């Protein structure tokens, strides 16, 4: 009898009763790690294997990403050195499924030498070593013994349906006598081999692998330029989302919005396991201060860490000034508001600048690889920020950066040949090493922009309250048709004004209607940092 796809899916997802997931770290990044489940690797067709991979976000990136991990079920062609994603599954810190995405038309991706995908490919397609087989067999035997309640008797038919060949008969002879450790290990190894053989036949009969998780790769997000993870107000949602394994983003530009990635509000940097409960990133933890005062104070631990609250000293709280664009928290005072903001006052490569004295050269085009995506929009008090799902990226100067978020400034922060524009949009990107790259697009009065109108239509009614509509946008429509640009090294234009940011300022502006500009102006009349000193920096411009 033919085993159903559901049964095969369960087998692949959980490895059968005897085999638990064996997640092995392939890449350890600052914000996320890439792993593969060795116990999920199964033969599909001759020369083809399927396996689960995942990206696990660091704790401080979960909030902006909206999920703790994203699993991807990939099919690898070990002879052609290609792979395709069958399904993606997004999970929260408690390992509850947030959403699943079935890839209707899997895209075949060639493995790029030196990439994360190549490391995953090698892990999946290389034959298992004798020591590895013995390890799997030992683990399976122990698990099977524990499940049976005793290690004295082992049956080759422990896994229901897994050791059947379709006729209902056992492939491996039943063992009824007590086994030595060596005999038990050999029996379990034989059972595993038989199960994989049967599974491969079922997969081949079904015509395709089980659908259970992952993206062609595995998962990334952002808020401000300073906080791609979504914790700051202006820039980096890119860190705010988790990112798929190198292959996660391989969706076609032609995919319908229904298959676009949907980000969840939430924030990515040290490896943590999904198992066990993680403290919700969105729930402040209260700490009670007991003292002799008549009224004990409650201090939000999260507020203290973010600099928006102060720790009680006796009964007198410390005065704190939050950064802003006017008053005591204005840009000229940013460097003195917090020790972490020191670069805002004494940095030598600060942004924005007036781009008026660059050298004109033949700059290589920015390779935009943007995909349709769902989005989450929030007015964070400093700007309107839009977080997007994983899968969109740019490649420039030999590095690939994932799009995390984009946000707006009024008026423009940068100037081109002394000219300021009505507004400016910053598309914040981050690579696996945590380096930031920001694409700046100038916005001027003209015709209405359809994407901007979609965003304004879905603005939350209150600040700091985010909203994720069931609507997808295509980031490609945010870019000008003429993609010549100026590039230089600068900083975030919001605290902490971190330097070393790669800036790419597009030369041609994009139009917005006066009404669309007016809507933003009502929310943020002015949220632009003044022009900063060039300090002898080199600026290159497309000819």
- The pLDDT of residue 275 is 35
Concatenate the DSSP letters of all residues of 20-74 into one string: ---EEEEEE-SSEEEEEEGGG-EE-STTEEEEEEEEEE-GGGHHHHT-SEEEEEE
CA atoms within 13 A on the CB side of 361: 10
Average pLDDT, the chain: 74
198 class by beta-carbon count within 10 Å (0-12 exposed, 13-18 middle, 19+ buried)? buried
CA distance 118 to 360: 37
- The pLDDT of residue 390 is 85
**Six-digit token string for 499:** 């330097």
- The pLDDT of residue 52 is 92
- The pLDDT of residue 262 is 56
Concatenate the DSSP letters of all residues of 395-458 into one string: EETTEEEEEEEEEEESS-SSEETTB--SEEEEEEEE-TT--EEEEEEEEEESSPPHHHHHHHHT
Q: What share of the chain is helix, strand, coil (3-state, %, to 5)?
A: 25, 30, 50
Task: Return the bridge partners of 377, or none.
Answer: 386, 467
CATH 3.10.200.10 fits 354-542, yes or no: yes
CB 531 within 8 A of CB 415: yes
CB 375 within 8 A of CB 230: no
Question: Phi and psi dihedrals of 441, rounded to 5?
Answer: -120, 125
286 class by beta-carbon count within 10 Å (0-12 exposed, 13-18 middle, 19+ buried)? exposed
Radius of gyration for the chain, computed over Cα atoms and rounded to the nearest angstrom: 27
| Higher pLDDT, residue 227 or 74 | 74
- The pLDDT of residue 479 is 98
- The pLDDT of residue 86 is 83
**Six-digit token string for 472:** 């997808």
**pLDDT at position 425 over 50:** yes
CA distance 18 to 189: 12
**What is the band of 433 on the pLDDT scale with cuts at 50, 70, 90?**
confident
Q: Which residues are catalytic?
A: 382
Average pLDDT on 83-106 reads 84
- The pLDDT of residue 319 is 67
**pLDDT at position 39 over 90:** no
**pLDDT at position 1 over 90:** no
CA atoms within 13 A on the CB side of 72: 33
Average pLDDT on 340-356 reads 96
CB 86 within 8 A of CB 50: yes
**Helices 181-206 and 130-148, axial angle in degrees (round to 10):** 100
**pLDDT at position 285 over 60:** no
- The pLDDT of residue 250 is 39
CA distance 539 to 267: 33
Cα–Cα distance list, 175 to 60, 141, 193 (Å) = 51, 13, 16
Which residues of the chain form CATH 3.10.200.10?
354-542
- The pLDDT of residue 237 is 36
Give the residue from 213, 202, 207, 215 showing the smallest Cα distance to 7: 202
**What is the band of 473 on the pLDDT scale with cuts at 50, 70, 90?**
very high
- Measured from the Cβ of residue 263, the count of other Cβ atoms closer than 10 Å reads 32
Q: Are strands 436-445 and 423-430 parallel, antiparallel or unpaired?
A: antiparallel
The pLDDT > 90 percentage for the chain reads: 44
- The pLDDT of residue 181 is 54
**pLDDT at position 420 over 80:** yes
Which residues of the chain form CATH 2.40.128.710?
18-127+213-259
CA distance 475 to 370: 6
pLDDT in tens, 210-264: 333 333 344 333 345 545 645 443 444 333 333 334 344 333 344 444 445 556 4
Give the residue from 485, 482, 489 showing the smallest Cα distance to 532: 489
pLDDT in tens, 144-196: 666 665 444 333 333 333 333 444 433 333 333 444 555 555 555 555 555 55
Average pLDDT on 459-477 reads 95
CA distance 12 to 7: 9
**What is the band of 320 on the pLDDT scale with cuts at 50, 70, 90?**
confident
**Six-digit token string for 343:** 């670069």
CA distance 112 to 151: 46
Give the residue from 247, 248, 239, 246 showing the smallest Cα distance to 220: 239
Cα–Cα distance list, 53 to 17, 40, 217, 268, 473 (Å) = 20, 9, 8, 18, 27
Q: What is the widest separation between alpha-carbon atoms in the chain?
A: 88
Average pLDDT on 487-497 reads 98
**Six-digit token string for 375:** 């989005």
- In CATH, the architecture of 18-127+213-259 is Beta Barrel (2.40)
* CB burial string 202-221: b at 16+ within 10 A, e below: bbeeeeebbbbbbbbbbbbb
- The pLDDT of residue 188 is 54
């Amino acid at each position: 009898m033919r085993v159903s796809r559901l049964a095969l899916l369960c087998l692949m997802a959980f490895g059968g009763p005897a085999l638990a997931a064996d997640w092995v770290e392939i890449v350890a990044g600052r914000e996320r790690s890439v792993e593969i489940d060795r116990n999920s690797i199964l033969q599909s067709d001759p020369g083809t294997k399927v396996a689960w991979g995942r990206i696990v976000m660091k704790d401080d990136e979960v909030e902006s990403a909206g999920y703790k991990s994203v699993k991807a079920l990939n099919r690898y062609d070990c002879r052609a050195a290609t792979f395709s994603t069958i399904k993606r599954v997004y999970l929260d810190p408690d390992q509850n499924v947030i959403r699943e995405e079935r890839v209707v038309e899997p895209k075949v991706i060639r493995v790029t030498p030196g990439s994360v995908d190549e490391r995953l490919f090698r892990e999946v397609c290389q034959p298992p070593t004798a020591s590895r087989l013995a390890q799997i067999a030992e683990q399976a035997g122990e698990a099977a013994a524990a499940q049976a309640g005793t290690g004295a008797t082992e049956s080759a038919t422990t896994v229901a349906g897994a050791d059947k060949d379709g006729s209902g008969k056992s492939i491996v002879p039943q063992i009824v006598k007590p086994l030595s450790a060596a005999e038990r290990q050999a029996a379990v190894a034989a059972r595993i081999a038989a199960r994989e053989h049967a599974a491969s036949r079922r997969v081949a009969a079904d015509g395709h692998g089980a659908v259970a998780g992952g993206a062609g790769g595995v998962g990334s997000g952002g808020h401000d330029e300073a906080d791609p993870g979504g914790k700051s107000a202006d820039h980096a949602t890119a860190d705010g989302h988790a990112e798929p394994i190198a292959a996660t983003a391989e969706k076609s530009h032609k995919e319908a919005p229904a298959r676009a990635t949907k980000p969840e509000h939430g924030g990515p940097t040290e490896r943590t396991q999904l198992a066990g409960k993680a403290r919700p990133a969105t729930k402040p933890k209260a700490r009670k201060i007991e003292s002799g005062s008549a009224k004990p104070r409650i201090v939000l631990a999260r507020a203290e860490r973010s600099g928006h609250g102060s720790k009680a000293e006796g009964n007198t709280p410390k005065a704190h000034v939050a950064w802003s664009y006017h008053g005591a928290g204005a840009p000229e005072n940013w460097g003195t508001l917090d020790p972490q903001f020191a670069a805002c006052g004494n940095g030598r490569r600060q942004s924005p600048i007036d781009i008026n004295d660059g050298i004109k050269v033949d700059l290589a085009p920015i390779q935009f690889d943007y995909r349709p995506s769902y989005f989450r929009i929030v007015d964070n008090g400093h700007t309107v920020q839009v977080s997007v799902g994983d899968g969109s990226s740019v490649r420039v100067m030999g590095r690939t950066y994932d799009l995390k978020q984009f946000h707006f400034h009024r008026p423009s922060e940068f100037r081109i040949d002394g000219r300021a524009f009505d507004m400016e949009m910053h598309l914040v990107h981050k690579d696996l090493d945590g380096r930031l790259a920001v694409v700046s697009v100038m916005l001027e009065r003209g015709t209405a922009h359809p994407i901007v109108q979609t965003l304004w239509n879905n603005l939350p009614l209150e600040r700091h309250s985010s909203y994720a509509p069931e609507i997808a946008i295509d980031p490609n429509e945010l870019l000008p048709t003429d993609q010549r640009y100026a590039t230089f090294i600068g900083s975030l234009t919001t605290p902490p004004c971190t330097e070393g940011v790669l800036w790419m300022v597009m030369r041609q502006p994009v139009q917005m209607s006066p009404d669309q500009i007016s809507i933003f102006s009502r929310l943020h009349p002015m949220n632009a940092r003044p022009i900063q000193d060039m300090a002898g920096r080199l600026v290159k411009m497309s000819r």
